[in-house]
Structure 1
């Protein structure tokens, strides 16, 4: 995810999947269309799609409510206020990740990590397993 530039661009992830890349300015990808056969994660409360399974990096994380997943990007989400938060691996700068449809807190975005070995998290997102539903869509 790049932080350079300020204009939005369109890109095709596949012939039938079109995403508007606003990550450069907002840290969020806004979804225009997801094919019925794409595996996704949806908000547990309102069922809006919040992440594509293809963007899943790791299932080996913990959130406030237990198990959590690390993603490269999310969709249909908004970021809350940036804050310092003590996590298992130290103090991190994070912003809460909210469902754009129902404003439910889904997890957070890592903005800054405390040490070099934790920097791989920067710019990535945590979705708490208890707040999302995996839909295989096959």
Structure 2
């Protein structure tokens, strides 16, 4: 008889599950921290902003404009740069700080997607969507 249950002692399965579990745990912790850092009504907007970033990368994986977020951009300032937890979420997704020269020789700080892992991005997207739905349910009550 064939069973669809996974063998918990399977080393290959464990090798995959461990990083996923760590990633999800860190992401949930960062989202919870973000909710405590921002005003309740703003939390949903910030989470939606992260969804848009992830979705842009999914839709256009070859476009560098979606893989580089200028920290001087007012939208990045408002939704990410001012919050430690938001920066942690971006880091988990794969964005890391990078300093480069702009077109006129001035230094510019950006968050650059250096690890484009569709699996982790999909997990982040799902977690963010769940938090948004839960947040809406809590706000309605």
Specify the TM-score bucket, using the shorter chain as the normaliser.
under 0.3
Point out the structure with the larger helix share: 2
Point out the structure with the larger strand share: 1
